[in-house]
Amino acid sequence: MTLRSDIQARAAQLRVRFEAAGGQVVDTPLLQPAGTLLDLYGEDIRARAYVTSDALRGEQMLRPDFTVPVVEAHMRHGAEPARYTYSGEVFRRQELDPDRPNEYLQVGYEVFERDDAAAADAEVFSLFALQVRGLPLRAATGDIGILMAAVEGLNTTDKRKTALMRHIWRPRRFRSLLDRFAGRCPVPESRRKLLSTEGDLTGSAVEIGKRRAAEVQARVEALRADAKEPPIAENELLALEALMAVRETVPFATEQMRDIAVDLPQINPALDRLDARTAAMKARGVDVDNLDFEASYGRTSMEYYDGFVFGFYAEARPDLPPVASGGRYDALTRQLGDGEEIPAVGGVLRPDLMLQLEEARK
Amino acid sequence: MTLKLGVPSKGRLMEKTFDWFAKRGVTLSRTGSDREYAGAIEGVSNMELVLLSAGEVPRELAAGRIHLGVTGTDLVQEKLPRFEQQVEELAEMGFGHADLILAVPQFWIDVDTLDDLDAAASAFRAAHGHRLRIATKYHRLVREFLTDAGVADYQLVDSQGATEGTVKNETAEMVADITSTGETLRANHLKLLGDGLVLKSQATLWRSRVAKYGRDEKAALNTLLDLLEHRK
């Protein structure tokens, strides 16, 4: 059993190293207003966070992560560029696995920096690699920005692209949307019937609720318009699927994706950014030739990341969550910043897991 | 010690449970005044009847305070995480059928599937500035179902009764509720989503895996199981 005091001592040590790298210490309240987190993550967050409430402030959540409050604090009164570090408890509701802790320490480092994204990505990754050096971990990396660029550049309507972008982080729904837009799955009977009609549909059903008849009619028009659009072309679709399946070391992955870019030229700028990051990481001494890259990495568990993503996993313990993870979340700052935005990248470490792995090796 | 059987204390569910056991040679009855929650069992010795609300049966089973309990699949799955590890299903009882479903206003002619719902929720949020509200008391089941289906931009609002009326009152845009015939839905101008069946439920006899079984409880349980086996 790892002692709590040992975990805290390790957390303090890790934070000191982040401070030495330029991180300014921030502290955020344990109780977070639930509204912000719900708007960001949707109802799913209730399955992961403890919710409590009082009559005065309404629903609040026990801090499920640091990123959101740190971004909010920065957007309120941060100087630029800024580097932050923190250490403290996060709380995760566990309903399925009694072996997973519902409270643990996280130590993090976040960089808010406008100028050189590649350098900031490399800085964060190499700092985390340094912190976990010596542990039997495998690093995984990815870049959600490449997939997003691929979707944005598809030869299809903006509505379809928006729908796909909305579900980048939900691979199953993304898949079913893609199948539908490519004309791969049959049109449901109810939809076929609806599309066979024309003009305003005034049925006998009573209009009730806050979603009005005009909104129903607007969506019917949109469905009719969409039915007239050609399906997404086969070559684009195959290229997109090939892209999502890329899983190689960084040099080979880059090569494969440049091949795919022949059919999806829109991803070339994103691949240039990947090249710049790879060079920056190499300059910091990261062994990029043996670093794994998965184009779909980070799509299921890391909802707000929209660029570079990374994680460090205990190879011998696939049951453990990542010991460290992080990524770029430019869009999040836009969402929380009330019109303001700043490119940001960061990550968190789990000192408890680090100690657990070290003890297991003794 | 005695084997404790928890049975819903009120209404048709209790009567039908009593009938079900009677057909299998076990007589359950209420004792004392009509208002007193006490009961008796004949047919199996060392067995005790506990009358309680159907909603409390899952919790009592999981705590091991009762050995057996009668309640719906819906309540067990809503209230007990990893329910299979805490309770064992002994028999489906063939009554109390109810489906947990998703329903939307009938005039939403553009919404018939979860796919449609997801798209409508997105447009609704953009137009109204808040997520599409679904009234329900089955938060966990509905959330897990919608997460699995990849539906986003919805929000669950709690409704412990008269759920179908929430749409008309504009406290929710749609509902997730238990229905047996669908009549209440139709009367409230709602329709089912084609692929919106969250769970099929019926009254079920459960055994707690957590409760302690001494010699007397084991003997009583075996006697009961024999009787149930016999009349299947």
Q: Does B108 contact A211 at a Cβ distance shorter than 8 Å?
A: yes
Q: Kindly report whether the global pTM for this prediction surpasses the value 0.90.
A: no
Strands A324-328 and A308-314: antiparallel
| H or E segment to which residue B73 belongs | helix B73-79
Q: Which residue has the tokens 């976990």?
A: A132
Q: Is B158 on the interface with A (CB under 8 A)?
A: no
Strands B38-42 and B174-179: unpaired
Give the count of alpha carbons within 13 A of B16, CB side only: 16
* Domain made up of A137-183+233-314: CATH architecture: 2-Layer Sandwich (3.30)
Give pLDDT, residue A191: 84
Handedness of CA A235, A236, A237, A240 (dihedral sign): positive
Nearest C-alpha in A relative to B148: A172
Could you tell me the two tokens for A220? 């019917």
Tell me which CATH homologous superfamily contains domain B3-96+202-230.
Periplasmic binding protein-like II (3.40.190.10)
- The rounded distance, in Å, linking the Cα atoms of A276 and A307 is 13
Q: Tell me the DSSP string of B1-45.
A: --EEEEEE-SHHHHHHHHHHHHTTT-EEEEESSTT--EEEEESST
CB A91 within 8 A of CB A106: no
Q: Is the pLDDT of residue A76 over 90?
A: no
Q: What's the pLDDT tens digit per position in A102-115?
A: 999 999 999 999 98
Q: What's the pLDDT tens digit per position in A217-260?
A: 999 999 999 999 999 999 999 999 999 999 999 999 999 999 99
Other beta carbons within 10 Å of B10: 12
Residues in chain A with CB shorter than 8 Å from the CB of B150 are: 167, 170, 172-174, 176
Q: Is B139 on the interface with A (CB under 8 A)?
A: yes
- The rounded distance, in Å, linking the Cα atoms of B207 and B214 is 15
A12: Cβ–Cβ under 8 A, 6 or more apart, which residues? A87
Handedness of CA A274, A280, A286, A288 (dihedral sign): positive
CB B66 within 8 A of CB B13: no
pLDDT averaged over chain B? 91
A208: nearest CB among B115, B154, B168: B168
For A256-275, what is the mean pLDDT?
Answer: 97
Residues in chain A with CB shorter than 8 Å from the CB of B124 are: 211, 215
Classified as helix, coil or strand, A116 is coil
Q: Is the pLDDT of residue B5 over 80?
A: yes
Q: What's the pLDDT tens digit per position in B198-225?
A: 999 999 999 999 999 999 999 999 999 9
Q: Do domains B3-96+202-230 and B98-201 have the same CATH topology?
A: yes
Q: What's the pLDDT tens digit per position in A165-176?
A: 999 988 889 999
Q: Is the pLDDT of residue B90 over 90?
A: yes
B9: Cβ–Cβ under 8 A, 6 or more apart, which residues? B37, B51, B52, B53
CATH no. for A1-136+342-362:
3.30.930.10
Q: What's the pLDDT tens digit per position in A302-337?
A: 568 999 999 999 988 888 999 999 999 998 888 888
Could you tell me the two tokens for A159? 């509505």
Give pLDDT, residue A195: 85
Distance of CA A177 to the CA centre of its chain: 20
Among A357, A284, A348, A274, residue whose Cα is nearest residue A311: A348
Q: Does B109 contact A46 at a Cβ distance shorter than 8 Å?
A: no
Instruction: Delimit the domains of chain B by residue range.
Output: 3-96+202-230, 98-201
Give pLDDT, residue A301: 67
- Topology, domain B98-201: D-Maltodextrin-Binding Protein; domain 2 (3.40.190)
Q: Tell me the DSSP string of B106-164.
A: TT-TT--SHHHHHHHHHHHHHHHSSPEEEEES-HHHHHHHHHHHT--SEEEEE-SS-GG
Q: Do domains A1-136+342-362 and A137-183+233-314 have the same CATH topology?
A: yes
* Residue B180: band (very low, low, confident or very high) from pLDDT cuts 50, 70, 90: confident
- The rounded distance, in Å, linking the Cα atoms of B66 and B58 is 10
CB B98 within 8 A of CB B202: yes
Could you tell me the two tokens for A325? 């993870």
A99: Cβ–Cβ under 8 A, 6 or more apart, which residues? none
Task: Give CA torsion, residues A70, A75, A79, A85, to 10 deg.
Answer: 10
B124: nearest CB among A46, A188, A211: A211
Among B95, B103, B1, residue whose Cα is nearest residue B48: B1
Q: Does A216 contact B110 at a Cβ distance shorter than 8 Å?
A: yes
Q: Does B173 contact A211 at a Cβ distance shorter than 8 Å?
A: yes
Among A342, A279, A261, A254, residue whose Cα is nearest residue A119: A279
Interface test with A, best of B77, B79, B107, B141 (most A CBs within 10 A): B107
| H or E segment to which residue B222 belongs | helix B215-230
Give the count of alpha carbons within 13 A of A323, CB side only: 29
Instruction: Delimit the domains of chain A by residue range.
Output: 1-136+342-362, 137-183+233-314, 184-230
Give pLDDT, residue B232: 55
B123: Cβ–Cβ under 8 A, 6 or more apart, which residues? A215, A218, A219
Classified as helix, coil or strand, A283 is helix
Residues in chain A with CB shorter than 8 Å from the CB of B152 are: 42, 166-167, 170, 173
Q: Where are the alpha helices (DSSP H) in chain A?
A: 4-20, 34-41, 67-77, 117-131, 144-152, 158-166, 171-181, 189-195, 213-228, 234-244, 250-260, 268-283, 330-336, 351-361
User: ipTM more than 0.95?
Assistant: no
* Interhelix angle A268-283/A250-260, nearest 10 degrees: 170
Triad B7, B11, B12: Cα angle to 5°: 90
Q: Is the pLDDT of residue A338 over 90?
A: no
For A41-66, what is the mean pLDDT?
Answer: 91
Q: Is the pLDDT of residue B39 over 70?
A: yes
- The rounded distance, in Å, linking the Cα atoms of A293 and A297 is 8
Triad A201, A203, A205: Cα angle to 5°: 135
CB A191 within 8 A of CB B112: yes
Interface test with B, best of A197, A208, A223, A304 (most B CBs within 10 A): A208
Among B141, B138, B144, B134, residue whose Cα is nearest residue B193: B134
pLDDT averaged over chain A? 92
Could you tell me the two tokens for A180? 């539908």
Q: Does A47 contact B144 at a Cβ distance shorter than 8 Å?
A: yes
